Chain A
Amino acid sequence: MAVMTRIRGFFSKLFGKKRSRVGIYGPPNAGKTTLANRIVRDVTGEAIGPVSEVPHETRRARRKEGVEINSGGSKLLIDIVDTPGVTTKIDYHEFLEYGMDQDEAVARAREATEGVAEAMHWLREDIDGVIYVLDSTQDPFMHVNIMMVGIIESRKLPVIIVANKIDLPDAAPQRIKSAFPQHPVVMVSGLEGNNMDDLYAKISEVFR
């Protein structure tokens, strides 16, 4: 044991601190994958996963390793994990409204429930910090947000709250700020790319 610890200590000194695994969490459709794609694409030119107006597009967590965040002359390497949207309810009828047939909608609902469970597993075991993404046109007090931020706090994980979709006319990012006064809130549009530098600065500060 002692030897192992010493060896590990030696390696971590040699190669620097372990890379932080930053999970992108939030309710379905908040824009998590759009934001993850923008961060990853800004750096590597590739996307992390597909985006859709239909909720529960992401049904498996996806990780991108070694994403370099540059801000104010400093560099930080992190892993980005895009996770399925978390909710307490999934009804396949919702997907029928987007023109899916019954079988497709039922399959999507099943996968979505597994996706939520998977997101929770990652949060319990494999995540070192969280970017919690909220749609600024929606009510931030939805219980799922209060619950998730409560879980993140109880695990003492560093967190940045993102008030996303500020390009929309009925966006009210200020509401998100007053809902979570205890955490840093960054207002962005993942779609348009507004204010991404503010987000990179916060990432460099909070997940260092």
Chain B
Amino acid sequence: MIQGVQIDMLSSDRLSRMTSMEKIRLILDDVRQGYIVVLEKGLTPEEQGKLLETTMMEISPGGFSGIEIETYPSSGGSEGGLFSKLFGGGKTPAGRLMVIGPVDQLKMLTREKDRLIAWASAAQ
């Protein structure tokens, strides 16, 4: 068995068939097993809030210590403001790729508006 880390990549088709709570449960179950989860289409702000609250309930000192979550920070969604809302030009951050992993295994090295560099390690 090679040493490594499992990456679970979920298509936007699959995500669009799931309820918010199903997505959150799937993400946290994966992350707690030491997997990295990549969402083709990220969570809405509302869902991210729920994910955060559920994460807080499951953190236990000495055990699970939380998640690292990242998406392209500057999507042009909110920046575009009214213009992008009217003409549908900009995507909201929720529409973009999102990567989530266990905080002790996933580290973000670089965060640029159109490029993320992450470093992942296998579970200890």
Interface flag for A196 (CB, 8 Å): no
State whether A90 touches B49 (Cβ < 8 A): no
What total of A-B pairs shows CB separation below 8 Å? 86
Q: Provided the pairs A146-B73, A151-B45 are in contact, do residues A88 and B53 lie with their beta carbons within 8 angstroms?
A: no
Chain B residues contacting A110 (CB-CB under 8 Å) are: 61
Residues of chain B from 11 to 69 with CB closer than 8 A to chain A in the complex: 44-46, 48-49, 52-53, 55-57, 59, 61-62, 65-69
Chain B residues contacting A86 (CB-CB under 8 Å) are: 52
Annotate A152-173 by CB proximity to B: 1 below 8 A, 0 otherwise: 0110000000000000000000
Interface flag for A203 (CB, 8 Å): no
Q: Provided the pairs A106-B61, A109-B59 are in contact, do residues A88 and B111 lie with their beta carbons within 8 angstroms?
A: no
* Shortest beta-carbon distance from A80 to chain B in Å: 22
State whether A154 touches B46 (Cβ < 8 A): yes
* Tally of chain B residues near chain A (CB < 8 A): 31
State whether B66 touches A181 (Cβ < 8 A): no
Interface flag for A143 (CB, 8 Å): yes
A146 CA to B71 CA in the complex, in Å? 9
Q: Which residue in B46, B73, B81 is a CB contact (below 8 Å) of A141?
A: B73
Q: Provided the pairs A117-B57, A146-B73 are in contact, do residues A153 and B45 lie with their beta carbons within 8 angstroms?
A: yes
Closest chain A residue to B104, Cβ basis? A91
Chain A residues contacting B73 (CB-CB under 8 Å) are: 141, 143, 146, 179
State whether B103 touches A179 (Cβ < 8 A): no
A114 CA to B67 CA in the complex, in Å? 16
State whether A91 touches B103 (Cβ < 8 A): yes
A interface: dominant SS: helix
Q: Which residue in A92, A124, A153 is a CB contact (below 8 Å) of B78?
A: A153
A100 CA to B1 CA in the complex, in Å? 41
State whether B66 touches A91 (Cβ < 8 A): yes
Q: Which residue in B52, B56, B61, B71 is a CB contact (below 8 Å) of A114?
A: B56
Interface flag for B70 (CB, 8 Å): yes
State whether B45 touches A143 (Cβ < 8 A): no
A143 CA to B62 CA in the complex, in Å? 24
A149 CA to B65 CA in the complex, in Å? 24
Q: Which residue in A88, A109, A139, A142 is a CB contact (below 8 Å) of B52?
A: A88
Can you report 24 A-B residue pairs in the complex whose CB atoms are below 8 A from each other?
A: A88-B55, A88-B66, A88-B67, A89-B59, A90-B59, A106-B61, A109-B61, A113-B57, A116-B52, A117-B56, A124-B49, A146-B73, A146-B93, A147-B45, A147-B48, A147-B49, A150-B45, A150-B48, A150-B78, A150-B93, A151-B49, A153-B78, A179-B74, A182-B78
